[in-house]
Amino acid sequence: MTKIFPRSRALSVADDPRWARIVARDRTADGQLWYSVSTTGVYCRPSCASRAANPKNVALHDTLESARATGFRPCKRCNPDGLSLKCENAALVARACRMIEEREEEPSLEELAEAVHRSPSYFHRLFKSATGLTPKDYAAADRAKKVREGLKIGNSVTEAIYDAGFNSSGRFYEKSTGILGMTPTQYRGGGANEEIKFAVGQTSLGAILVASSKKGVASILLGDDPDKLVRDLQDRFPKAHLVGADREYEALIARVVGFVENPHIGLDLPLDVRGTAFQRRVWQALQEIPVGQHVSYAEIARRIGSPNAVRAVAGACAANNLAVAIPCHRVVRNDGALSGYAWGVARKRALLEREASQTV
């Protein structure tokens, strides 16, 4: 007797894992697959925002040529033959950034939006999502960068100020300390003659170095070797005048050590926070995380209004000079796993466990 084997059922579109990416409008799938819809006679990219089609009427394509071979027309909404919306928006933002950088005077939001053919409100949201900054903050950061570059190549303070696009020296000097972390003259000299006081102490997590400028605490460093921490400080302030601790300053480091051991007491000390506008926004968000809690890098990106800037958030955490005072140790991966920490993952784990136990 001849056996009759049932025919294997072809995988339906609904069961195909590629269909799930289309349902999710996965932008990362753009350029990797396309789909066509027989009832509308169009083909689309996976991220298309059109109403979801019935999978019975859909065909999946691994190449753009295959989608075109259906004889259908390209969707006008998602433009599958051209750049993806993400790439198109990135190009618009890049164009606006070049416009900001090349203009002598800061262009208005309306001028930027008109140049890229978008409404001011939409462009503002788009720019902030892509860069982590508003157009105004980006322009301010660009002017600050130009001032720093001008001072480094030997321009006079006045030349650097006006070459960077500041309309008056008065406007710059109002913000100079926040922009440079010191006076323009000191910055031009590479921080020469800036006095930095420091002291080294010991905590249950190892050695700790605290350093302060006239403005406030500028560095809190953790490590195993006190001498290495001092060398690290010298590298951070190569032309500054480092002054060892006196009795009064040793009292300050005792307060910092107490804070490390018991974070719930808080650290009511002025901080000299030196960083870009974006880094400052990230660090401010970190300081708002309650003791005993932790959040993901993606959550911090959302909190500062830049959900696509997860990598930049991680970079800002890595650039933090103020261990514990700016609690970058409270930021973890999406799955809760610990990621890198400038002062060692073991210390990060110990800090989180200590805060969690003290919160209970």
* pLDDT at position 62: 92
Distance CA 102, CA 109 (A): 15
The DSSP element (H or E) to which 283 belongs, if any, is helix 277-287
The number of beta carbons lying within 10 Å of the beta carbon of residue 99 is 16
Residue 333 to residue 314: CA distance in whole angstroms: 10
pLDDT of the residue at 133: 80
| 241-244: strand order across its sheet | 217-223, 206-212, 195-203, 241-244
Confidence of residue 154 (pLDDT cuts 50, 70, 90): very low
Q: Which of 48, 75, 317, 328 is catalytic?
A: 328
Residue 48 annotated to the active site: no
Which pLDDT score, from 0 to 100, does residue 185 have?
55
pLDDT in tens, 37-52: 999 999 999 989 888 8
328 is annotated as an active-site residue: yes
Q: What pLDDT score does 247 carry?
A: 77
The residue-averaged pLDDT of 72-77 equals 91
Can you give the pLDDT at residue 5?
44
- Mean pLDDT, the chain, rounded, equals 81
pLDDT of residue 110: 93
User: Which range, of 13-22, 79-88, 124-133, 249-258, averages the lowest pLDDT?
Assistant: 79-88
Mean pLDDT within 329-358: 87
Better-scored residue on pLDDT, 333 or 4: 333
Q: Which residue has the higher pLDDT, 154 or 37?
A: 37
Bigger pLDDT: 327 vs 307? 327
Residue 103 has pLDDT above 60, yes or no: yes
Q: What is the DSSP letter of 57?
A: G
Assign 335 a pLDDT band (cuts: 50, 70, 90).
Answer: confident
Percent of the chain past pLDDT 70, that is, above it, reads 82
Assign 208 to helix, strand or coil. strand
pLDDT exceeds 70 at position 166:
no
Q: pLDDT at position 279, please? A: 85
Q: How confident is the model at residue 8 (pLDDT cuts 50, 70, 90)?
A: very low
CA dihedral sign, ordered 162, 168, 172, 173: positive
pTM: 0.56
Secondary element (H or E) of residue 235: helix 226-236
Q: For residues 356 and 360, give the distance between their C-alpha atoms in angstroms, rounded to a whole number.
A: 7
Long-range CB contact pairs, 235-240, < 8 A, 24+: 236/321, 237/191, 237/194, 237/196, 237/211, 238/190, 238/191, 239/189, 239/190, 239/191, 239/192, 239/193, 239/194, 240/191, 240/192, 240/193, 240/194, 240/195, 240/196
Q: Kindly report the backbone phi and psi dihedral angles of residue 311, in degrees, each rounded to the nearest multiple of 5, phi listed first.
A: -65, -40
Q: Which pLDDT score, from 0 to 100, does residue 175 have? A: 52
Taking only the tens place, the pLDDT of each residue in 81-101 is 887 677 778 888 888 988 888
Band of pLDDT at residue 172, cut at 50, 70 and 90: low
The predicted model gives 325-343 an average pLDDT of: 87
